[in-house]
A = this chain, B = another copy of it.
Amino acid sequence: MAITYAQAGVDIDRGDELVERIKPLARRTRTPLVVSDVGGFAGLCRVPPGMSDPVLVSGTDGVGTKLKIAFATGQHGTIGEDLVAMCVNDIVTCGAAPLFFLDYFATGRLSLEVAEAVIAGIARGCELAGCALLGGETAELPGMYADGEYDLAGFAVGAVDRPALIDGRRVQAGDAVIGCASTGLHSNGYSLARRVLQTELGLALDAHVPELGQTAGEALLTPTRIYAKAVAALLDGHDGRVHAQSHITGGGLPGNVPRVLPEGTGVALREGSWDPAPIFSLIERGGPVERREMWRAFNMGLGLVVVVDPAFADEAVRRLSAAGERATIVGEVEARGADVQFEDRVRFV
């Protein structure tokens, strides 16, 4: 009896069926710059015209063990939004406009329903970010993932004209620091969050938690905020007054804000000047988890931090708010010794 590929665990026809289901989702994300549909060997996208020295800005990320919440709740519809957010928020910090996105979806045995739900979330994320879902790979890896589990990786590319690149070099003492609220944990710190909420506090994902005003599962699955369109509104004709932007991911505020600060500067952030989602205090008390560890593992309520010319601060807050963000001035840039440790360049006051 001859052996077939399907018997070895890989069903090419099921993969082809998924491609057919994805096509209309991807088509809705098409932008005028896209040259091809999904399906060829590669995705094609023009460079935006009119740039004197176009620079491509790229980023890749996954969503970490937030996946485990999707597996446990059977809710696969928004994790794709998280994936897009994690990648796109990185590239917009440089001032880049997102152009396109590609995804990698790997699983043991392909479930068309799950894969389609995940990729529909990716497509919605691309719409929210204003970029095209240009391609992707769906990998069936028998024996590598537990039943019903999968991993996701995303790749985003944007473009910025080199003179408009935002790289933190203009940051100086006295600049205003603006924070945009996160929607919750976003996609970082889930191993610690699950350890505390599920193991230490024994919360079931489907149990209503009064402090959260929703179930633990709902709070943990809240999609990562996509800041692309708000950043575009902020940067429109900002004329160099936006000096730096930082996407708050793994490492938290102390691990991410200093990445865009020039030597000899730091920031002072006023705790209490923003309003974190209740899940952070639940985790902190539930562990307990030390404050310092909380800052390092979680965004603690701010998903995007923007450093601007102080004369532009109110206008910046207005623009971000008009774009739907909860934005406030949360601190300022201060001079710091060049010998100050990386993470100590963020000071909480």
Contacts and interface: CB of A to CB of B under 8 A. Distances in A.
Interface of A: 2-5, 7-10, 12, 15, 35, 39-47, 53-62, 64-65, 67-68, 90-91, 93-94, 96, 99-100, 102-104, 106, 134-137, 139, 141-146, 149, 151, 153, 155, 157, 159, 162, 165, 189, 191-192, 194-196, 200, 246-247, 250-251, 255, 259-260, 287-290, 293, 296-297
A13 to B, nearest CB: 11
Count the copies: 2
Given A102-B155, A141-B64, A142-B191, A289 B47 contact: no
A143 to B, nearest CB: 7
Nearest to A192: B8
Given A41-B259, A136-B60, A289 B46 contact: no
A292 B96 CA distance: 48
Given A58-B135, A61-B137, A153-B104, A91 B191 contact: no
B135 A67 contact: no
Contacts of A61: 104, 137
A258 B45 CA distance: 23
B47 A55 contact: yes
Nearest to A103: B60
Given A90-B41, A155-B155, A3 B65 contact: no
Given A47-B55, A62-B141, A157-B157, 10 more contacts: A5-B293, A12-B251, A15-B250, A42-B93, A44-B165, A47-B47, A58-B157, A60-B104, A65-B143, A137-B153
Contact of A142 (B3, B46, B65, B134): B65
Contact of A2 (B134, B144, B288): B288
B144 A67 contact: yes
How would you classify the secondary structure of chain A's contact residues: helix, strand, loop or mixed? mixed
For the complex of A and B, list the 6 residue pairs with the smallest distance between their C-beta atoms, beginning with the closest: A104-B153, A155-B155, A8-B195, A8-B192, A3-B287, A153-B153
B2 A293 contact: yes
5 contacts: A3-B293, A4-B289, A44-B56, A56-B56, A62-B139
A254 to B, nearest CB: 11
Given A2-B288, A191-B8, A58 B45 contact: yes
A137 B54 contact: no
A246 B60 contact: no
A7 B195 contact: yes
A249 to B, nearest CB: 9
A47 B54 contact: yes
Contact of A293 (B4, B99, B165): B4
Nearest to A247: B41
B141 A67 contact: yes
A40 B261 CA distance: 11
A46 B42 contact: no
Contacts of A58: 42-43, 45, 100, 102, 134-135, 155, 157
Contacts of A12: 250-251, 255, 296
B62 A42 contact: no
Nearest to A15: B250
A59 B41 contact: yes
A43 B293 CA distance: 28
Contacts of A57: 42-44
